[in-house]
Amino acid sequence: MARKLAWGERTYLMGIVNVTPDSFSGDGLAAPGLSIAEIVEAAVEQARGFADAGAEIIDVGAESTRPRDAYGDHPEVDAATEASLAVPVVRGIADALGERVLVSIDTSKGSVAEAAIEAGAGMVNDVWAARRDPGTADAAAMAGAYLVLMHNQEGREYPRGAFATVVASLSEAVEAAVARGVPRERLIVDPGIGFGKGTAENVELLHRLAELKRELGGMPLLVGTSRKRFIGELLDGAAAEDRLEGTAATVALAIAAGADIVRVHDVAVIDRTRRVSDAIVRG
């Protein structure tokens, strides 16, 4: 069973380790020509730097989840290919840093989640909320791992409004995961900033984040805004590498609204943002 996270005492910092060749933010570690051993070594080194800088959770992903409506089409990665990258990296980080961090697997495939948990992951981060493959919920249930359920959808149409849609979708996903055996106390919800949403929807959800948490019964809340496109749009077209200050602003405001985990690329800087925000918000 995964180590227990103590909700309400602090905001946890999740560092992103992308073992992909095509991350939207340009930080993918799986450069062409590298061996698996070289990728694992680079990932462990990055994860160690994140842990030294303050991250308590390391999120490993081997398939780009960048939204197609924002970044264009990209090929699907089959489960075997994804696992061949993700699982050795999870094992390497868990072996090297398992006493210091909780390792998370960013996947929407049940078989990849199961293999990653066997390799040492204690959290499954599913950007499709176990809807595309309920096997992610089954894997988390069997292992006692945490499961992150994120709102996502194809397209940006919200006839009922973005806020009401996200609340209803996440509520349904929570009950479905509980029905598959995931303890409610091991579930985390994520409004899916940047996924199936334009700038207006992202800003609304962040503006109403405290209300969203209340509507979901105070469930632990993960917020991932790091380097995302809407920040660039708010900053007159700033590129991904120029969105750090905007990311820090969204993180501080998310913490003030009740975020329990913030998922970021720039761990050292955002750790300072988190520490000051927690001192003010949580005392």
pLDDT in tens, 131-150: 999 999 999 999 999 999 99
Q: Give the pLDDT of residue 21.
A: 72
Q: Give the pLDDT of residue 71.
A: 46
Contact criterion met (CB below 8 Å) for 283 and 268? no
**197 given a catalytic annotation:** no
The phi, psi pair for 180, rounded to 5°, reads: -90, 0
Write out pLDDT tens, residues 161-211. 999 999 999 999 999 999 999 999 999 999 999 999 999 999 999 999 999
Higher pLDDT, 92 or 33: 92
Instruction: Please tell me which residue in 91, 131, 197, 228 is annotated as part of the active site.
Output: 228
Q: Give the pLDDT of residue 230.
A: 97
Higher pLDDT, 107 or 75: 107
Separation of alpha carbons 125 and 129, rounded Å: 8
Is residue 219 over pLDDT 60? yes
Q: Give the pLDDT of residue 22.
A: 56
The phi, psi pair for 116, rounded to 5°, reads: -70, -40
Q: What is the pTM of this model?
A: 0.94
Architecture of domain 12-281: Alpha-Beta Barrel (3.20)
113 token code pair:
């989640």
Q: What is the mean pLDDT of residues 83-92?
A: 96
Q: Give the pLDDT of residue 33.
A: 81
Chain centre to alpha carbon of residue 172: 19
Contact criterion met (CB below 8 Å) for 210 and 175? no
Domain boundaries of the chain, sorted by first residue: 12-281
**109 given a catalytic annotation:** no
DSSP-derived letter for residue 133 is -
pLDDT confidence band for 32 (50 / 70 / 90): confident
Q: Give the pLDDT of residue 76.
A: 79
Residue 213's contacts (CB-CB under 8 Å, 6 or more residues apart) are 219, 221, 257, 258
Q: Give the pLDDT of residue 23.
A: 53
